[in-house]
Amino acid sequence: MTNIVQYKLIGNIYNYRMNNSATVSGTVSGTVSLSTYSSDSMDTIESFESTRTTDNNNISNSTKYKLLVPELYNNKIHGFTYDSDPNINGHFIVLHIFKKIPKNCITICNFYKKYYKNNYISLSHDLIMNYKNIITSSNYLNIEIGEIHYLRGDECVCILKTFWLKIVQRAWKKVYKIRQQIIKKRNRPDSIIYRQTTGKWPSDYQYIPSIRGMLNLLNQ
For residue 105, the SS3 value is helix
Q: How far apart are CA 155 and CA 140, in angstroms?
A: 20
What local confidence, expressed as pLDDT, does residue 191 receive?
92
**DSSP 8-state code for residue 91:** P
User: What is the pLDDT confidence band of residue 63, given thresholds at 50, 70 and 90?
Assistant: low
- CA-nearest of 11, 15, 153, 10 to 84 is 153
Over residues 78-108, the pLDDT tens digits come to 999 999 999 999 999 998 888 888 888 888 8
Q: Taking residues 69-84, what's their average pLDDT?
A: 92
Over residues 125-160, the pLDDT tens digits come to 999 999 989 998 888 999 899 999 999 999 999 999
Q: How far apart are CA 89 and CA 73, in angstroms?
A: 6
